[in-house]
Amino acid sequence: MITTATKTAASRTFAVHAAVCDKVAMNTTEYLDRIRNAQVYDVADKTPLELAKNLSERLGNRILMKREDLQPVFSFKLRGAYNRIVRLTDDEVSRGVICSSAGNHAQGVALAAKRRGTRAVIVMPVTTPSIKSDAVSSLGGEVVLHGDTYDDAYAHARELGEKEGLVFIHPFDDPDVIAGQGTIGKEILEQVGEKIDALFVPVGGGGLIAGIAAWVRQTQPDIRIIGVEPQDSAAMSKSLAAGAPVTLDHVGIFADGVAVRRVGDETFRLCQELVDEIITVDTDQICAAIRDIFEDTRSIVEPAGGLAVAGAKKFAAAQNANGQTFVTISCGANVNFDRLRHIAERAAVGEQTEMLLAAEIPEQPGSFRRFCEAVGRRGITEFNYRYSDDHNAHIFVGIQLSKGLQERKALLAKLRGAGFPVEDLSDNEMAKLHVRHMVGGRSPGISNERLFRFEFPERPGALLDFLDAIGTQWNISLFHYRNHGSDYGRILAGIDVPQEETAKLEVHLAELGYTHWEESDNPAYRIFLS
C-alpha cells in the first residue's frame, strides 16, 4: 500500500514545497546548525553514492544508492551514536554510557565509547544473533543479554542505567543522534550532480529520516522525501495517520533493524512536518530488493537495508514514473548468513518472477503431462504431490515468470480454461512459510482440527518451552517447525479440539502469551492438509 502520511500529495509543486518549508523553518533551523557541526567523521566514512545500473535500466529511472552498508560497522548508526557520545561532559564520560539495541545501534555506541574512552554497557535481547553480540564485544562493549524483545532490553537498560548512574544513549529519539544521521542528507546533496526527484529512506524509530529530512527539506525543498516501512512494522505511518505516536501491539521480525513498536516523539514531530509520505512494502518485496542490490553491487544488505529500493520500485510502478532520479539509502548489511536461504526463496515471488499455485488434477495416467502442457515451456521451480484418493489429486506448483503479474493472471486463466481448478497462493503467507514444505499431510480421520501459526523468540530450549506451555490436554494433530536463521521460531500446529472445548482452548491460547494466528479457514490448509 502507498499511503500519504502528511498533507503533501503526489502532484505537489515546488511552490507548495517551499511554503511548507517556510512554515517549519522556525522549528527546524536549529537542526541545520546541528547537522553542519555534527562530529561524525572521526569514526564514520563519507560513503559513496552509486548508480544502480541494472536496476535503473530495468525501471526506466535513475536509481542511486547511498552506500551506508559500507560503514566500518556496516550501518549508518555509528553517525548518531558518535555525535551524541562525543558531546558527553567529563562527568558523564567518567560515569559511562548504556544503550539497548538488537545490533546496529549497539555497535555504533560501542565504537563511539571506545573512541571517547568511556565505559559502554549494551543491553541486547537474548534472541540477538551471536554475530551481532560478538561484534559489540570485540569493540569493547559490555554485553548484557536480557529479555526476548527490544522492549524488554530497553526497560532493563533504563533500570540498570539509573542504578549505576550510566548515561542512556537513545537509538533515535535524541537531537544529537538525529543530527548525526542528518549528515547523510548533507552528503547526498553534495555528491549528486543532477536533480533529485525523490529520496527514499528506511524508517524504524524515525531517527534516520528525521535527520535527512531536516537538512534536505530546508536546503532543497523540491525533493520528495518518502519513508519506507515494512507492512508488519509500520509504526510511523500509523502514527502519522493517528496524529500522534502510537504503540503497535506486534511488529514483524524479518526486518529487525526497523522493528520498532513506537517511534520517537521528536522523530514523529519532524516527520509529521517534513516528510511527504510513507510507503509500506512486504517481505517478498524486501527480498527482491536485496537481490536487486546484490546484482548491482555484489553486496548483501540486511532486510532493513533493502527497504528503500523496495519502496522506490513500488513508487515507480504506482506512479508510472519514467526518466526520474531516485536516491535510496542502503542503511545496513548486518545480516546473518543463515537468513540468506529465506531471502533467496522469497525474492523470486517478490520480483514477480515466480508464482505459487495449487491445482486439482484427475487421479489418472497422463494428468501430470496434460497439466504441464497447459503450463507451457515455463520453468517449474517446485512440484509437490501426494496421493489422497482415487478421484482427484492436489499438487503444489512453483512456476517461473518473465512478465510479472500480467503473465501470472494470464496463466491462471489459461489453466482454468483447460479444465484445471487452480488457486493462486503467491501472496499466501502460510503457504510460503509452511505448506510448500509439507504438502500432502491430510488426515481424514480427524474431524475437530483447528490450525494455528505461532511465533516465539528463538533461543536454546524455546521449542521445549512452547510444547510445555501448550500442554497435553488436547492432541496435536499437525506440527511443523522451521528455523531459517531468523530471531524468531515459527510453528504451524493442528490441535484436535472437541466442539464443547473450543472456548476453553481459546482461553488457554490467550494465557500462553505467544503471538499466534488461527489459520483454520486458510485455503492452503483446506486444499492440502485438512
Residues 96-114: tens digit of each pLDDT: 999 998 778 999 999 999 9
Residues counted in the chain? 530
pLDDT for 441: 58
The total of other beta-carbon atoms located within 10 Å of residue 492's CB is 23
Q: CA torsion angle for 426, 427, 429, 433 (degrees, to 10)? A: 20
* The Cα angle at residue 319 between residues 313 and 320, in degrees rounded to 5: 85
User: In angstroms, rounded to a whole number, what is the distance separating the alpha carbons of residues 516 and 458?
Assistant: 15
Give the max Cα distance, the chain: 82
Q: Does domain 352-427 have CATH number 3.30.70.260?
A: yes
State yes or no: pLDDT of 25 exceeds 50: no
| CATH topology for the 445-528 domain | Biosynthetic Threonine Deaminase; domain 3 (3.40.1020)
User: In angstroms, rounded to a whole number, what is the distance separating the alpha carbons of residues 172 and 267?
Assistant: 7
Q: Does domain 77-168 have CATH number 3.40.50.1100?
A: yes
Task: Name the phi and psi angles at 445, rounded to 5.
Answer: -75, -10
**Which option is the CATH number for 2-41+48-75+175-347: 3.90.400.10, 1.10.600.10, 3.40.640.10, 3.40.50.1100?**
3.40.50.1100
Most confident residue range from 362-366, 382-386, 427-431: 427-431
Contact 198, 326 (CB under 8 A): yes
Nearest residue to 407 (alpha-carbon basis) of 385, 383, 382, 379: 379
User: In angstroms, rounded to a whole number, what is the distance separating the alpha carbons of residues 248 and 293?
Assistant: 30
Same fold, 77-168 and 445-528: no
Contact 274, 28 (CB under 8 A): yes
- Domain regions of the chain by residue span: 2-41+48-75+175-347, 77-168, 352-427, 445-528
pLDDT, tens only, 122-147: 999 887 767 788 899 999 999 999 98
Residue showing cell 510445555: 468
Contact 514, 465 (CB under 8 A): no
pLDDT top residue among 46 and 359: 46
Q: How confident is the model at residue 21 (pLDDT cuts 50, 70, 90)?
A: very low
State yes or no: pLDDT of 472 exceeds 90: no
Q: CA torsion angle for 464, 468, 471, 476 (degrees, to 10)? A: -10
State yes or no: pLDDT of 161 exceeds 70: yes
Contact 60, 324 (CB under 8 A): no
Average pLDDT, the chain: 86
The SS3 of residue 187 is helix
User: In angstroms, rounded to a whole number, what is the distance separating the alpha carbons of residues 6 and 188?
Assistant: 23
